[in-house]
Amino acid sequence: MVTSSIATLALLRQSGGSPLGPATVDDGWTVITSTPNMNAPVEQSTLADRIRDHLGAAEVEVAGEGNRFDVFVASAAFRGLSRVRQQQLVYEAIGDLIRDGTVHAVTIRTVVAGDP
């Protein structure tokens, strides 16, 4: 479990992210946290639209409010990619909101669209 968390953080940082707060990986979920920016709330639809625009995702579900969200993404763009790389693609779409604290905590779960 610890190795997965470290690998996820290292790969997120390699993709252009800045050092983040605690991250954990469990059963395909990645949890990323940052220092909260309480003055800048973001809507679920904003996150979903950014992810869809970035990935052309078949399905994006966002739950939560304020600055804490759970994100589920099913996309054909994930086919052949490791779970870490799939989550990096989602992070690329919303990483600026995490880095500036607009999104304090996000849990990301990804699946390949059409897979059982």
Q: Whole-number mean pLDDT of the chain?
A: 76
CATH number of 2-112: 3.30.300.90
- Give me 15's structure tokens: 């993709």
Q: Where are the domains of the chain?
A: 2-112
CB-CB contact of 107 with 68 (8 Å): no
Whether residue 41 contacts residue 64, with contact meaning beta carbons closer than 8 Å, is answered with: no
Tens digit of each residue's pLDDT (9 = 90 or more) over 33-88: 556 556 568 899 999 999 999 998 679 999 998 889 999 999 999 999 999 999 99
Both tokens assigned to 41 = 């709330």
Q: Checking DSSP bridges between strand 29-33 and strand 59-65, what pairing results, if any?
A: unpaired
Q: Is the pLDDT of residue 108 over 60?
A: yes
Contact 94, 50 (CB under 8 A): yes
